[in-house]
Amino acid sequence: MTPIHPENLSVLENSLALAIGEDFSLENDPDVIQQLIGDKRSPNTKREYQKDLKDFFLFVAKKEPNRDLVLEFLHLEHRETTGIPATDYAIVIALVDQNTQKGKRDYAILRLLWDNGLRRNEIVNLNVHDFNAKDKTLSILGKGKGSQKEVLDLSDKTAAAISSWIKASKKKRGNDPLFTVLAYHKNGARLTGEAIRRLVDGLCKQAGITKKMSPHRVRHSAITTVLDLNNGNYRATQRFSRHAQVQTVLKYDDNRQRLQKQMSDSISELI
């Protein structure tokens, strides 16, 4: 089998990050894979996810996926959604030198990962014309949206960061990639997802964070923080995270304070 390039791992990760709905049942339907992709309407999308699942398990387990193998994988630690607090991420982002061209680019990327919880592929696919400086919005090609883009509102800090990067990079053509390589031999090429992963990993280590960090872990951190800020309002958090199902947001409650313990303690005092 041809080894999978790191840049393609996010596609495979997405295949295994599909939400398991309330109707997921091993008793009634033992075909785990079919249930995982059951909410995908397009036959082409289903075929692509099936192929990704097969390729992934051949790569990591040296065998094709089956019911027991998939279930074992779904219970691995990689599905936990813990992240880091905002105070730690503030240390990470403060390490970026915004006076340099690279620093302006990296700062804008780091703000998008946190302020909007973007996935790294969503960042990689951005073009210059996707950013509206006047309205402070960004049009992104979200996960599972096909070719239909959605418009996101940006924070003032993020909008200013992107504007600063565009000005420093002297980008003029709307179809140009928004974030590009700065190395001399590849200057102007679209930045890869692997480059963003290395950026996050390197800065987090430099900040003294011992937890293994990635762009997706930053997204997890942001979602958990939003859930905390709005006192567990799942619907509001779903608007931020852009998950297709609100049930997916429920996983992030594990990262907040031990609310179940608090509620149990509170109700116990009543009797």
Domain end point (choices 79, 114, 143): 79
> Is 233 contained in some domain?
no
Q: What is the pLDDT of residues 130-155, one digit of tens each?
A: 999 999 999 998 766 667 788 999 99
What is the percentage of the chain residues whose pLDDT exceeds 70?
Answer: 68
* Spatial distance between the Cα atoms of 74 and 256, rounded to a whole number of angstroms: 22
Residue 84 has pLDDT above 80, yes or no: yes
Per-residue pLDDT at 101: 95
Residue 23 has pLDDT above 50, yes or no: no
Active-site residue set? 119, 145, 216, 219, 243, 252
Q: What is the pTM of this model?
A: 0.66
Bridge-based pairing of strands 137-140 and 131-132 is: antiparallel
> Is 243 contained in some domain?
no
For residues 75 and 124, membership in a common domain is answered with no
Domain end point (choices 79, 104, 119): 79
- Here the CATH number for the domain that contains residue 133 is 1.10.443.10
> Is 24 contained in some domain?
yes
> Is 252 contained in some domain?
no
For residues 133 and 112, membership in a common domain is answered with yes
For residues 111 and 193, membership in a common domain is answered with yes
Per-residue pLDDT at 191: 93
With cut-offs at 50, 70 and 90, classify the pLDDT of residue 77: very low
Q: What is the pLDDT of residues 30-45, one digit of tens each?
A: 466 666 666 555 777 7
Number of domains observed in the structure of the chain: 2
Per-residue pLDDT at 24: 37
Measured over the CA atoms of residue 257, residue 226, residue 88 and residue 212, the dihedral's sign is positive
Distance from first CA to last CA of the chain, Å, rounded? Answer: 63
* Spatial distance between the Cα atoms of 154 and 159, rounded to a whole number of angstroms: 6
For residues 213 and 91, membership in a common domain is answered with yes
For residues 66 and 90, membership in a common domain is answered with no
